[in-house]
Structure 1
């Protein structure tokens, strides 16, 4: 039977790192889905294929981020229920989550299949790559049910404090994706269609393996078919926690889609270059993203157990560990970005365009070490509405307007366009620091009142 990891007692740093490493590796392999697609077509296809896969995968990444945001609602609520010792309600959280995500899967699949052409047109996909972009989006959208199912299952495991099982399933699926890409692209020359089909197949494998593992191990609390329904109070709580995160993640990714749209208007080379850079950015941001999820899982249990001081210590450890990795990634990105870009394209012009854009991400590596851990802290506390607002403000009041204005300045530099991202992150960090002080003071007052009433 799957065990529950208790994060409310004992040391913090070593359990946090042990939890974060499998999360990091699982996220790495998930990013590899899209990265391998781009790598294969970059080496065996043309710049047009790279542009189509880059644009199409950005669209699918936005969908995945929205789904993952909703799944965090399950992780947070389950963690809080376990921290409170309410195991029966934890089973009902899973049941409500299954119902919510079944409906979500149907809606997203239908919408993406119907609106693939308008979405590609909205993305300003280069004319030469337009049809292939639509094809990639439609094939991947047909597998939305697997994206949804996998993220829900991962949300359940994270809520239990288990970050290793998702790593095992996604590792096997990633190998399947690589083999599928090689077979369909190198062997059958299917290019864009081939990498899309391989991605869907790999996602299906990850879901199947996860279900087999759950059936074999069982869950550490009561769960049956009767749990699978819309539990009124729990369903609203999942949506209360998950919807703001999903909206924030979705809109933030839309801001990057907007930047991709701006860059696509500059031509195929710029489009392919930024597409490669965004794929690399997915890897660069893995460490802070992993700590964001890990901190959220830790804080959720401690917040549920009313151990706020321990929750704050978790945040400090998360930031400290994340910044150590951030410094290394900043150096590699700024000074050796051409070597990294060369793995995804053999076109020198595309490589140089990618490196130019990536230099801005070197700055963002340092800032996100603070931002993402703080977001994880607020999510764990259930302060997801604030997380949503700060993310939306950064995306639509800074990142998009600044990118657009810079793109209109001649001569246009992808590095300067890229600087809009760390500029937005800096403002968001300031917002989070101010809100952290406010939340800390309010919680201290509440604890003082409870202590007075106790005596």
Structure 2
């Protein structure tokens, strides 16, 4: 398997290049979510509602740790893309090898830390059923053990995206996803495992995709080629990756922290609502990933053009990402609204589960009107290396607001409808503040790119 054709983002039409970049990124996320949905569906059909609810209750926590890894990989993406745009090829090579080590090291550190604190966190989640809680704890322990592998894939894919190659990570993910589904069926149906089976399948299949991308990177004839003998930490590169990536990771993690709080509130309702929430989360994520794909496209294209000092193309990238992103959102939202109940029935046929899941889907799809603004404008700012302010904005408008909502408004009206209202309200505030900050910073961003390494 060879690396896909690299894209010069500093020249030529942006309309086709952005959409051709974003589509494979979205497809990767769709496939990843589809395979995650297969985990829940296999459990729901063959291991029971308790196993399905257990994995669903872990969704926000899994999202928390994955968001940190994905955010850090964005730091590598921006660092490498900026150096490519500015023609600093020695800096590109140093950043690539630093990113590989940072992925594994970060996964080990976070995995070990997670294993130490996961039990009290699970206890604080307020899961009513002891069996569901025990299953959820087992799932998370296996999942955390595989974080170095999960992080490595994210960073390898980010390295490839920095030069416009989104096809190769898609191929690798497709192969590993099929492995994941096969292992799910083997572990659950043949070996009689439940949540530990699907968690093990996730880790093993992720190892497959990581190995595929590592082979491609070590056999590449481009500037992002990985030479295992050259693996070393270049401290200026690591600093740049952390400056951009750490706030991006924290921003994504803040969403997940707030979702853990919301999930704890969901857990205070009944098992059918928990199961419906889990099923709906696997479906409405398809819409979110289309938004995130254009946010990632914005980050990468702005990064290269900022390195090349083509600030006019950075602004055009922002506008095109909005137009193409909202078009994709409208198409997906229409499909998901029309077929939401049929899709939910894949996971469960319980009417109470279907009703709860359908209500969540309606709320989240409406919320994504504002999420698009957050994703693309945050991506625009990160492409310039401005990553901390969006994180601070998210802390105020997402994390704090959702905590207050659950503590006061939901506690006063203990219904799923009232709880779900927190999503559109908090994200709308986040979008407004992000837009205002970007507007006031527009003249300060267009300056010579800082040396990435």
One fold, TM greater than 0.5?
yes
1:442 equivalent in structure 2? 444
Instruction: Output the CA distance in 1 between the equivalents of 2:117 and 2:296.
Output: 31
Deviation at 1:221, TM superposition (A): 5.2
What is the deviation of 1:103?
A: 2.2
Q: Deviations over 1:378-420 (max 9, x none)?
A: 111111011211222222232332244342234x332331121
Question: For the Cα contact (< 8 Å) 2:298–2:318, is it kept in 1?
Answer: yes
> Match of 2:391, SS?
helix
Contact kept? 1:53, 1:192, Cα under 8 Å: yes
In structure 2, the gaps of 5 or more residues are 449-453
Deviation at 1:342, TM superposition (A): 1.5
Q: Distance in 1 between matches of 2:208 and 2:291?
A: 27
CA separation of 1:221/1:196 partners in 2, compared to 1, >3 Å: closer, same or farther?
A: closer
Residues 371-382 of structure 1 mapped to structure 2, 5 A cutoff: 371-382=374-385
Deviation of the 1:15 alpha carbon: 0.6
Counterpart-to-counterpart distance in 2, 1:316 and 1:222: 33
1:285 match: secondary structure: helix
Is 1:400–1:420's contact at 8 Å kept on the other side of the alignment?
A: no
Is the Cα contact below 8 Å between 1:241 and 1:382 reproduced in 2? Answer: yes
Match of 1:268 among 261, 266, 271: 271
Q: Matched residues in 2 for 1:427 and 1:37: separation?
A: 34
Q: Find the residue that maps to 1:125 and give its secondary structure.
A: coil
Moved more, 2-11 or 18-27: 2-11
Residue of structure 2 equivalent to 1:329:
332
Instruction: Give the superposition deviation at 1:32.
Output: 2.5
Matched, 1:388 2:388: no
Match of 2:40 in 1: 38
Question: 1:162 & 1:222 partners in 2: Cα distance?
Answer: 13
Give CA deviations for 1:137-167 in whole Å, capped at 9, x if unaligned: 1111221121011011011011121111100
Counterparts of 1:316 and 1:185, CA distance in 2 = 47
Shift of 1:333: 4.4
Q: Which residue of 1 aligns with 2:141?
A: 138
Does residue 317 (structure 1) correspond to residue 320 (structure 2)? The answer is yes
Distance 2:397 2:117 in 1: 27
Tell me the CA shift for residue 343 of structure 1: 1.8
Kept in 2, the 8 Å contact 1:399–1:423? The answer is no
Structure 1 counterpart of 2:100, from 98, 114, 121: 98
Q: Which moved more, 1:10-19 or 1:32-41?
A: 32-41
2:287 alignment partner in structure 1: 284
Q: What TM-score results when the alignment is normalised by the length of structure 2? A: 0.93
Quick check: 1:301 aligned with 2:297? no
> 1:296 Cα deviation (Å)?
0.7
Structure 1 330/32 Cα, relative in aligned 2: closer, same or farther at 3 Å?
closer
Correspondence for 2:204 = 201
Shift of the 25–418 alpha-carbon distance from structure 1 to 2, 3 Å rule, reads same
Q: Please provide the CA RMSD for this pair.
A: 1.9
**Mapping of residues 16-165 of structure 1, within 5 Å:** 16-126=18-128, 127-165=130-168
Inter-partner Cα distance in structure 1 for 2:52 and 2:234: 45
Q: Distance in 2 between matches of 1:173 and 1:194?
A: 16
Q: 337-346 or 424-433, which moves further after superposition?
A: 337-346
Cross-structure match for 1:181: 184
Report the counterpart of residue 453 of structure 1 in structure 2.
none
- Cα distance in 1, alignment partners of residues 221 and 37 from structure 2: 34
Distance 1:305 1:286 in 2: 29
Q: Quote the Cα distance in structure 1 between the aligned partners of 2:225 and 2:342.
A: 51
Q: Please, which moves more after superposition, 224-233 or 306-315?
A: 224-233
Offset of 1:332 from its aligned partner?
4.2
What does the per-residue CA deviation read over 1:403-450, in whole Å, with 9 as the maximum and x for residues that have no partner?
44342234x332331121111121122112212222223356x69xxx
Q: Confirm or deny that 1:415 pairs with 2:417.
A: yes
**How much has 1:224 moved relative to structure 2?**
4.1
Gaps (5+ residues) in structure 1? 448-455
Q: Deviations over 1:324-371 (max 9, x none)?
A: 122233344455432222222222211111112222112112222222
Distance 1:160 1:226, change over 3 A: same
Q: Distance in 1 between matches of 2:226 and 2:331?
A: 44
CA drift of 1:281 comes to 2.5
C-alpha distance after superposition, 1:273-296 (max 9, x if no partner): 222222223222110011111111
CA gap of 1:365–1:330, structure 2 versus 1, over 3 A, is farther
Q: Distance in 2 between matches of 1:76 and 1:173?
A: 26
More off after superposition, 350-359 vs 221-230 = 221-230
CA separation of 1:112/1:305 partners in 2, compared to 1, >3 Å: closer, same or farther? same
CA pair 334-415 structure 1, distance change in 2 beyond 3 A: farther
Q: Is the 1:330–1:365 contact (alpha carbons within 8 Å) kept by the matching residues of 2? A: no
CA–CA separation in structure 1 for the residues paired with 2:273 and 2:225: 54
> What is the CA–CA distance in structure 1 between the aligned matches of 2:136 and 2:66, rounded to whole Å?
17
